[in-house]
């Protein structure tokens, strides 16, 4: 496989709806010793506060949240989802908690680090390195659509919304 190359954010040509919603992504954070990853299929790409940003949404219960909260940066790794191995790995990352298993090792995947020390998954084909700008816990009183609390938060496991600047894009 070709190695990752830096890619200008402005030249990215992806459909965020299918890329995030259908193909999913791995949210990865940590340091040189401890890294965790989880699958996410909710998120947005856009522009805010003069930066190219992502929004991601992580429920309180996720082990990955502890890693994202501790670090200034995290990564989003996208994969060739036509490859069955990748699909299986993302299903696994989204079904099991890193509190119980070393998911990356068990999936036979590997961590690499960007120039600023952010971990990402080497088996991907597109990586966004992201610097946290804000973290906002979603609360029931904020929902204007009354279906939201009923449909998504019956268990009280609310998401925190992270807005993060895309500081680097790696592609191959
Ligand atoms: C397709 C898919 C999409 C998911 N999207 C999200 C998401 O956007 N936010 C979230 O908090 N959990 C999401 N999850 C659930 C987490 O990936 C799952 O709970 C995972 O086991 C958490 O692992 P951790 O405890 O190691 O962080 C998704 C799971 C799947 C399978």
Q: Which of 38, 69, 101, 107 to mutate to test the pocket of ligand 1 (most atoms within 8 A of CB)?
A: 38
The pLDDT of residue 2: 79
Averaged over 97-122, what is the pLDDT? 98
pTM reported for the whole predicted model = 0.98
C-alpha closest to that of 89 among 169, 155, 24: 24
Tens of pLDDT along 148-170? 999 999 999 999 999 999 999 99
Catalogue the E-assigned strands of the chain: 5-6, 25-30, 35-40, 43-48, 51-59, 73-78, 111-113, 119-121, 126-137, 159-171
Residue whose CA is closest, atom 31 of ligand 1? Answer: 94
Check: CB of residue 94 under 8 Å from CB of residue 85: no
The burial class, CB within 10 Å (0-12 / 13-18 / 19+), for 59 is middle
Atom 16 in ligand 1: residue holding the nearest Cα: 94
Using CB distances shorter than 6 Å, the residues near ligand 1 are: 24, 36, 38-42, 57-59, 62-64, 91, 94-99
pLDDT digits (tens, 9 = 90+) for 42-92: 999 999 999 999 999 999 999 999 999 999 999 999 999 999 999 999 999
Q: What is the mean pLDDT of residues 3-8?
A: 95
- Give the residue from 97, 99, 104, 136 showing the smallest Cα distance to 119: 104
Query: What CATH fold (topology level) applies to the domain 5-171?
Result: Pnp Oxidase; Chain A (2.30.110)
CA–CA gap between residue 155 and residue 47 (Å, rounded)? 32
Q: Is 118:73 a contact under the CB 8 Å cutoff?
A: yes
CA pair distance 56, 76, nearest whole angstrom: 10
């Amino acid at each position: 496989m070709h190695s990752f190359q830096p890619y200008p954010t402005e030249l990215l040509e992806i459909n965020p709806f299918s890329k995030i919603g259908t193909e999913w992504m791995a949210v990865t954070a940590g340091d040189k010793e401890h890294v965790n990853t989880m699958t996410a299929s909710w998120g947005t790409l856009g522009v805010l506060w003069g930066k190219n940003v992502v929004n991601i949404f992580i429920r309180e219960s996720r082990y990955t949240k502890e890693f994202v909260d501790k670090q200034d940066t995290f990564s989003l790794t996208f994969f060739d989802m036509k490859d069955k191995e990748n699909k299986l790995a993302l299903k696994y990352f989204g079904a099991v908690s890193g509190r119980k298993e070393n998911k990356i090792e068990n999936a036979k995947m590997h961590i690499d680090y960007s120039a600023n020390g952010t971990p990402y998954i080497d088996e991907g084909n597109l990586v966004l390195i992201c610097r946290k700008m804000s973290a906002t816990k979603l609360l029931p009183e904020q929902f204007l659509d009354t279906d939201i609390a009923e449909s998504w938060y019956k268990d009280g496991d609310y998401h925190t919304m992270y807005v993060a600047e895309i500081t680097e894009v790696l592609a191959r």
